[in-house]
Structures are given as C-alpha cells and as structure tokens.
C-alpha cells in the first residue's frame, strides 16, 4: 500500500490507484482503503471526517448511502475533506465531478448496491496489487467490465448474498462484507458472457475513455460548448430539425428544446444517446470537441441504430413446469455444498415466496440446511480469529485501557475481523473469560 511522503497530514497520505487510466479508483474505495491503513472501521473513519468538518452526524449515520463518487454535494464535500486531511491533492479526480458542468445534477445515477467485476479483483490479487473499487463501477450506465467483457455483479460467489461490496461498517475492498470471502473469481462471469449486448460494451468503453481523460483535463468541460455541439450535430444530421433528431434518440422534442433554449443540461444517458446516434465519442461530445467529426452516412446510421433505445415490450406470461421445479429442488437438497433459497430462486427464475407456497417442506429443508452451513462457517471463522482477538485483548488490558471494538480493531488486521460475525458478542465473551 503506497504512501506519499507527507508527514504533516492528519490521515495517511495514501496514493490513489489508477489515476490517468480508465481503471481509476473511486473515492468510496479510497475511503475504505484509508480506513484499512489506519486499522479502523470505515464507519469510525467516516464519522471522524464528518465531525472534523463540523457536519452533524446522526445516530444512524450510514456513510455508504452517500454518493461519494458522483457529481453532487456529497462528492464535493468528501473529496475536499479527504484531500485536506490526507494532503493528497485533487481527490475529486476519484469522482465524476470534473464533468459536473456537462451532466445534469441528477443526471448521473450512482448504483446503490455496489457492483464489481470478480475478475478485476482476481487480477489485483494475483499481481500483488491491493484490490480496489473502480470508479466506472459506480455508474448505473455501466453494467459490464470492458477489460474482461463480463457482466458486473452484486452477489458474493460464496454466500450468494447481494449488496456485499461495501455496505457495512467494516470494509476491506475485495472481500465480502457478509461472509468475509474473497470476491475475486477467475471463472466468474464467463457463463453470462454470451448474454452481453454490444451496446453494453459500447457504454462501458465510453465511460472508460471519459475517466481516462479526466485526470489530464486542462480546462473543465462547460455546458455551453456541449449545447453548441449538439446544435451543430442536429444541423448536420437533420437540417436543424430538433423533432427529427429527438425521434432518433427516442426522447421528446421538448427535451431537446430545453437543452438548447434554457439552462437545462442533458443527463449522462441523454448524452450517450446523442453520441451513439451521431457516431461521436462521449468524451468528445462532453468536451465540445467536434474536430474531425462528420455526419454519419446512411450505412453508418443503420449500424448506429442498433444502439437506439427500443420500447420495452411486455413479457409474455411464463408457464412454469412445477414438476420440473420439484425435481430441481430435490437436486439442490442432494448437492454436496448447501445453497440458499435465494440462490435456488435465482437459478430457477421463481420468487422465494412461490417456492414456499408450492413446495414448503423442501424449501424449508433447503433453508435450514443453508442456515446450519452458515452457522458452521461463522463458528469456524470465529475460532480462527479468536487467538488474534485474545492476543489483542491482552495487549489492550496490559496498557490499562478498556476492551472495546476500537481498541481491538487497532491491534488486529481488518481482514481477520471482516469474516467474524457478531464481533460485539465475541468481545463480550473475551471479557468474561478474562474476569
């Protein structure tokens, strides 16, 4: 873990990863790694940062609900705060803030349940690098990894739970916050490779180019240059007729009117549509750089039309073969490795409540088998971590300090504690043994 030479910073001057590349780290990842470098929880560090800058911290403060890597106030506040406390300049480059003037304030949705590419984590681990979250993963516009051409996921390959990347008080990037297992898997995602659409890869490539360029921007992109570029594109492609161009994009003509005649700014999704239909890259469009651009020919337009949003058709009612479902449930019960009802539901494409309604006994057996397995895993992790915790407890008590979570986490590596379920209960047991 590289540290910049700056002894005067309040927090470790941790070097961001991937600056100047499409694999640049997100600010959220930076905060998590910073907490690990201080041997503390991300919750404790986030509270300390918020309190230092005199922000009121609610009792139920959840740092991971903030859009730290977006273009809003949270991104600006936290990037400036962490820059001030680490003395590492321009941490806004770990967010989408460089593009805030050319993307509508609410026009860059950030994924709420952290998605990730298991193969990227595996590459980090295998090459000896510190696993980290890529900024590109934070955008809802990105659903696949452009490097590995595999779909991003929110599920742990071990415990099958979702929202496992960072939604916890103690986070070690690359490890599941629910079961503590490593989230990197070489083979994960190959089975969904065939279902990836060209438009998904195109979107991922556009965002990747955007992030690669933002560290080298001499001047931040401005809204007026973007609007002028869109106006020029409409003139070249549709003779200045906004209604025709709006039809190409699959949006209302009033939306384009608001861009051109008011101070409204296109969303990231809208700019992606403009780029896809005009044949210009998203980077050049948002930068207002039309040098070398020409309106696509008829053949090119036909190819670009593949990226045009299509109206969603109502799915046909599915006929479920309940006999086949029953057979699959029986097979799940006979599998050597227990799986959760949620995973069974995902495999069969049937909601868990339908499984409980139609095959109550078998579904409950699967659930109980999974619960027993998870308890056994948790007990094994506690047993493995107990020597470390007891050693830390002795060190803490020998200095005359009280035994609490903060003191223990400062003496034990975060990756040891990340897999321990019910850490407060474990500490209580250690206290009782020491009496």
Domains of the chain: 27-195 (no CATH), 221-290+297-307 (1.10.260.40), 322-434 (no CATH)
What pLDDT shows up at residue 411? Answer: 76
| Cα–chain center distance at 317 | 33
Distances 322 to 238, 346, 354, 357 between C-alpha atoms, Å: 54, 16, 11, 12
**pTM of the predicted model, to two decimals?**
0.71
Local confidence pLDDT in tens for the 435 residues of the chain: 555 554 567 899 999 999 999 999 999 999 999 999 998 888 888 888 887 775 554 545 566 667 888 998 888 888 888 998 899 999 999 999 999 999 998 889 888 888 999 999 999 999 999 999 999 999 999 999 999 999 999 988 888 888 889 888 889 999 998 888 899 875 444 444 558 888 899 999 999 999 999 998 888 999 999 999 999 999 999 998 999 999 988 899 999 999 999 889 999 999 999 999 999 999 999 999 999 998 887 655 545 554 555 555 555 667 888 889 899 899 888 888 888 888 888 888 888 888 888 888 988 999 999 889 888 888 888 788 788 777 877 787 777 777 776 777 777 777 777 667 666 677 777 776 665
| Helix boundaries (H) for 279-401 | 282-287, 298-304, 322-334, 341-348, 352-358, 360-398
What pLDDT shows up at residue 413? Answer: 74
What pLDDT shows up at residue 77? Answer: 85
CA angle 374, 380, 385 (to 5 degrees): 125
d(CA 122, CA 116): 11
What pLDDT shows up at residue 50? Answer: 80
What pLDDT shows up at residue 302? Answer: 46
Q: Please list the residues that pair with 116 across neighbouring strands.
A: 153
What pLDDT shows up at residue 65? Answer: 66
* Residue 11 DSSP one-character state: S
d(CA 432, CA 435): 5
| 273 membership: H or E segment, kind and range | helix 268-278
What pLDDT shows up at residue 414? Answer: 73
Q: Locate 300 and state its tokens.
A: 């090119």
CA torsion, points 107, 154, 416, 19, in degrees to nearest 10?
A: -40
* Inter-helix orientation angle 42-52/27-37, to 10°: 110
Residue 259 CB coordination number (10 Å):
20
What pLDDT shows up at residue 241? Answer: 92
d(CA 110, CA 233): 28
* Residue 150 DSSP one-character state: E
| Helix boundaries (H) for 103-249 | 118-126, 198-214, 223-238, 242-249
CB 10 within 8 A of CB 51: no
| Cα–chain center distance at 400 | 41
Q: Which residue do the tokens 């298991």 mark?
A: 118
CA angle 178, 114, 351 (to 5 degrees): 70
Backbone φ and ψ for 164, nearest 5 degrees, come out as: -110, 0
Q: With CA atoms as reference, report the closest residue to 232 among 188, 284, 191.
A: 284
């Amino acid at each position: 873990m590289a540290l910049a030479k700056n002894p005067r910073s309040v927090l470790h001057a941790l070097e961001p990863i991937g600056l100047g590349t499409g694999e640049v780290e997100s600010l959220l990842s930076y905060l998590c790694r910073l907490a690990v470098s201080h041997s503390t929880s991300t919750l404790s560090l986030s509270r300390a940062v918020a309190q230092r800058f005199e922000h009121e911290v609610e009792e139920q403060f959840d740092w991971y609900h903030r859009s730290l890597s977006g273009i809003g106030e949270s991104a600006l506040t936290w990037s400036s705060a962490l820059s001030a406390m680490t003395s590492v300049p321009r941490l806004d480059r770990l967010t989408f803030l460089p593009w805030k003037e050319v993307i509508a304030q609410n026009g860059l949705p950030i994924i709420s349940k952290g998605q990730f590419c298991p193969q990227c984590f595996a590459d980090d681990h295998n090459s000896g690098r510190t696993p980290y979250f890529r900024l590109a993963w934070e955008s809802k516009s990105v659903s696949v990894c452009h490097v590995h051409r595999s779909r991003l996921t929110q599920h742990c390959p071990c415990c099958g739970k979702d929202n496992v990347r960072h939604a916890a008080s103690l986070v070690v990037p690359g490890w599941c916050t629910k079961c503590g297992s490593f989230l990197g898997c070489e083979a994960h995602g190959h089975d969904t490779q065939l279902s990836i659409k060209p438009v998904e890869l195109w979107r991922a490539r556009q965002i990747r180019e955007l992030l690669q360029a933002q560290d080298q921007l001499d001047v931040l992109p401005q809204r007026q240059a973007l609007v002028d570029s869109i106006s020029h594109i409409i003139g070249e492609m549709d003779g200045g007729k906004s209604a025709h161009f709006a039809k190409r994009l699959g949006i209302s003509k009033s939306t384009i009117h608001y861009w051109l005649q008011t101070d409204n700014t296109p969303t990231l999704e809208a700019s992606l549509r403009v780029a896809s239909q005009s044949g210009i890259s998203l980077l050049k469009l948002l930068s207002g750089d039309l040098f070398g651009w020409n309106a696509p020919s008829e053949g090119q337009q036909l190819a670009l039309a593949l990226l045009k949003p299509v109206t969603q058709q109502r799915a046909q009612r599915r006929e479920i073969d309940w006999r086949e479902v029953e057979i699959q449930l029986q097979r799940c019960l006979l599998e050597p490795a227990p799986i959760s009802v949620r995973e069974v539901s995902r495999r069969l494409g049937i909601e868990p409540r339908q499984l409980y309604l139609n095959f109550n006994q078998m579904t409950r057996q699967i659930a109980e088998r999974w619960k027993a397995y998870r308890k056994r895993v948790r007990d094994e992790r506690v047993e493995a971590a107990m020597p470390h915790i007891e050693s830390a407890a002795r060190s803490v008590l020998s200095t005359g300090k009280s035994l609490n979570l903060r003191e223990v986490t400062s003496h034990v590596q975060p990756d040891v504690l990340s897999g321990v379920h019910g850490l407060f209960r474990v500490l209580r047991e250690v206290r009782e043994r020491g009496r």
